[in-house]
């Protein structure tokens, strides 16, 4: 019997239980965090006199050797070891003898796994933030080049009002900005070290939890040992934040799919980020954007799965919580590749400005401007103005043209109050007339660009 906890048991575990119970096949991903946490724990034990200075050095030297073995793919992960914590501890004892058995003094696998996972989440949070900032920077660069690229702004996927491509892309910049801020908030809220909570009630040893927290990069130890080993809020927080990132990415991907179709022809996706058909040689499919959209459902599933797992678990630690790791590992891996791919694809997209402008001349995008003209210049109520312009739109439809193509005499025939209105039926003037804070005018776009640029500068200091 080779289990580190086997003293209380008289028979070996069933083979099928080993397979069912073990997490080593996926939690081995936490080896760096486990070794870092163990080294700091050993330092603390030495500082308080539980182990000697020499024993600490033996332990740290052994852990360094194990780290290198794993890095060099020379470490033998065995399902019988159950998890990464026991696998490393068993190897440590093989390397340095009984001194290695002292490492687990004043801690439990409960606070050990909480620490490892929290360190992993903390690091992943920062890596995702960096990718988001890179993506925002790419979007901002494209936006700066297309402040005057006019396109149809839509509601209900119907042409609504003229905007610029810059205005549209800046909307996504602000979405992703909120995602970065959400990640920052997640990190700040969960920046507490669980090491030293032990199984659930703390330790009888005079441990120095503040030392461990500081050395491991946390602002403080956690405040309640039972909460510390039971808590997976920090995992759920990151799963939610990733879900929001993927929500925004999926919406953008949907628009890229539409924009790349022949019906829109707003953009051309590079051959490097498109695929063909096995049967139709004419096809160029936006598979990358479709996968970005599709992976969002997978990420949502991970969030809901862990919420469901945690919803009825009594305090403190329960084995159910082992199900947290595959969910968060999968979501982190997917959001990471999605952000990298989207960023790379955007850098190679071709913007079809003429096609955007052509589509902006369809759908009567300046109709609201005509109504506003009647309100502002002719003192007509907006409801009455709305009715008058509706008649103008119907007339243009009957002629098979856009209202911007009607001449002055045709406008006046619909209503005499439209005298002098022709000059306002200009797409660029329409776009720039919306000069309220946050609006589509060039002046307001420059303000929005500065807000995003200042945010990027602040985040990358």
Which residues have a catalytic role annotated?
156, 277
**What does the alpha-carbon distance between residue 70 and residue 155 come to, in Å, rounded to a whole number?**
54
Token match 């619909």: residue? Answer: 414
In this structure, how many other beta carbons lie within 10 angstroms of the beta carbon of residue 160? 16
**What does the alpha-carbon distance between residue 417 and residue 169 come to, in Å, rounded to a whole number?**
37
Q: What is the DSSP secondary structure assignment for residue 279, as one 8-state letter?
A: S
In this structure, how many other beta carbons lie within 10 angstroms of the beta carbon of residue 454? 10
Closest to 42 (Cα-Cα) out of 211, 204, 192, 202: 211
Closest to 330 (Cα-Cα) out of 29, 127, 21: 29
Would the CA dihedral through 456, 134, 291, 275 be positive or negative? positive
Would the CA dihedral through 110, 115, 118, 124 be positive or negative? negative
Q: Are 194 and 167 within 8 A, CB to CB?
A: no
**What does the alpha-carbon distance between residue 416 and residue 335 come to, in Å, rounded to a whole number?**
58
- What values do phi and psi take at 109, rounded to 5? -60, -20
Structure tokens at 290: 């479709």
Q: Are 369 and 392 within 8 A, CB to CB?
A: no
DSSP code per residue over 55-106: HHHHHHHHHHHHHHHHHTT-----GGG-SHHHHHHHHHHHHHGGGGGGGGTT
Q: Are 150 and 357 within 8 A, CB to CB?
A: yes
- What values do phi and psi take at 163, rounded to 5? -135, 180
Closest to 88 (Cα-Cα) out of 74, 102, 75: 75
């Amino acid at each position: 019997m080779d289990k580190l906890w086997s003293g209380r048991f008289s028979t070996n575990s069933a083979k099928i239980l080993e397979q069912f119970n073990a997490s080593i096949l996926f939690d081995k991903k936490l080896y760096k965090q486990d070794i870092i946490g163990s080294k700091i724990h050993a330092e603390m034990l030495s500082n308080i006199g539980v182990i000697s200075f020499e024993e600490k050095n033996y332990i740290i030297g052994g852990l360094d050797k194990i780290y290198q073995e794993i890095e060099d793919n020379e470490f033998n992960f065995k399902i019988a070891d159950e998890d990464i914590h026991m696998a490393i501890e068993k190897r440590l004892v093989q390397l340095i003898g009984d001194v290695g058995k002292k490492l687990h003094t004043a801690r439990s696998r409960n606070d050990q796994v909480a620490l490892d996972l929290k360190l992993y989440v903390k690091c992943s949070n920062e890596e995702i933030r960096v990718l988001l900032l890179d993506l925002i920077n790419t979007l901002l660069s494209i936006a700066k080049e297309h402040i005057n690229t006019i396109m149809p702004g839509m509601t209900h996927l119907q042409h609504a009002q003229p905007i610029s491509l810059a205005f549209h892309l800046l909307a996504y910049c602000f979405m992703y900005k909120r995602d970065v801020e959400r990640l920052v908030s997640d990190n700040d809220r969960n920046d507490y070290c669980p090491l030293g909570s032990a199984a659930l009630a703390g330790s009888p040893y005079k441990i120095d939890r503040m030392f461990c927290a500081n050395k491991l990069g946390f602002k403080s130890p956690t405040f309640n040992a039972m909460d510390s080993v039971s808590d997976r809020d920090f995992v759920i927080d990151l799963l939610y934040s990733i879900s929001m990132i993927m929500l925004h990415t999926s919406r953008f991907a949907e628009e890229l799919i539409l924009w790349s179709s022949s019906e829109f022809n707003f953009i051309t996706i590079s051959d490097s980020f498109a695929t063909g058909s096995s049967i139709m040689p004419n096809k160029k499919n936006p598979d990358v954007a479709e996968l970005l959209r599709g992976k969002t459902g997978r990420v949502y599933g991970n969030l809901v799965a862990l919420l469901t797992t945690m919803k009825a678990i009594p305090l403190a630690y329960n084995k159910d919580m082992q199900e947290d790791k595959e969910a968060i590992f999968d979501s982190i891996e997917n959001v990471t590749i999605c952000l990298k791919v989207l960023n790379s694809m955007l850098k190679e997209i071709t913007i079809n400005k003429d096609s955007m402008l052509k589509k902006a001349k369809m759908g009567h995008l300046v109709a609201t401007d005509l109504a506003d003209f009647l309100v502002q210049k002719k003192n007509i109520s907006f409801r009455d103005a709305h009715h008058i312009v509706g008649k103008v739109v119907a007339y243009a439809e009957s002629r098979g043209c856009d209202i911007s193509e009607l001449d002055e005499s045709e406008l006046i025939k619909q209503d005499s109050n439209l005298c002098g209105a022709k000059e306002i039926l200009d797409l660029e003037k329409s776009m720039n007339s919306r000069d309220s804070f946050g609006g589509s005018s060039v002046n307001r776009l420059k303000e929005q660009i500065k807000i995003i640029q200042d945010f990027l500068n602040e985040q990358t200091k």
